[in-house]
Amino acid sequence: MKKVLDIPPQVLPVECIDEALFEKNNDAALLLKCFEVVKDTLDVIDEPEYSIEKEDDTHIDLYRAYYALKVLFRRRTGHDAAQVAKDHFDAMSRHLLASEPRPENKIPVVVYPAECLPDEAFDGLTNQALACAAFNYSDRVRRLLNDHSPTGLSLDEARTFSIDSTTALRLLVLRLSGGSVEAMGAGMSRKPGETLQ
């Protein structure tokens, strides 16, 4: 009779290094990770007895920094950094090899598709509707900016809504105080003979 232990092989968890791994981190954490990787890589380069080998810790960390930077770039611009870099490289190659004009190599940025509303858009609203519009726009801005790492599109949307909120609130205040800044100032100043208590 044999006594055999049947121990299943232990499977170690595998970390898949890609953009999805870094999406959960905020911008500050991603920047710090990139800084640490660059610092560690420079330390390895400075040590003559060490070198960067394929698939060693430093090489893997460089991939982590690469994907962290891709996530940061996509958040700010809405575009893929690798594709934009390739487009810039192709444009520069055409410039050098085919004597095309030197490219500007602008970085594309996603912009919120709506424009700020003009003052006239709020003219037909009642005082309560103006107050509600100002509140709703400012609440939307608060929600957009409350994220630790708002995207470039969210920031541009928040800019648009904050301007609309300010416009609605300014018109409401002017309307309630007599229609002009001077009338508002006159209503807020002390009356002759009045004392501060």
pLDDT for residue 62: 92
CA distance 90 to 83: 10
CA distance 22 to 187: 55
pLDDT for residue 39: 93
Q: Name the nearest CA neighbour of 117 among 109, 126, 125.
A: 125
pLDDT for residue 177: 80
pTM: 0.66
Given a cut of 60, whether residue 188 has pLDDT beyond it is no
CA distance 46 to 20: 32
pLDDT digits (tens, 9 = 90+) for 112-130: 888 999 999 999 999 999 9
Q: How confident is the model at residue 51 (pLDDT cuts 50, 70, 90)?
A: confident
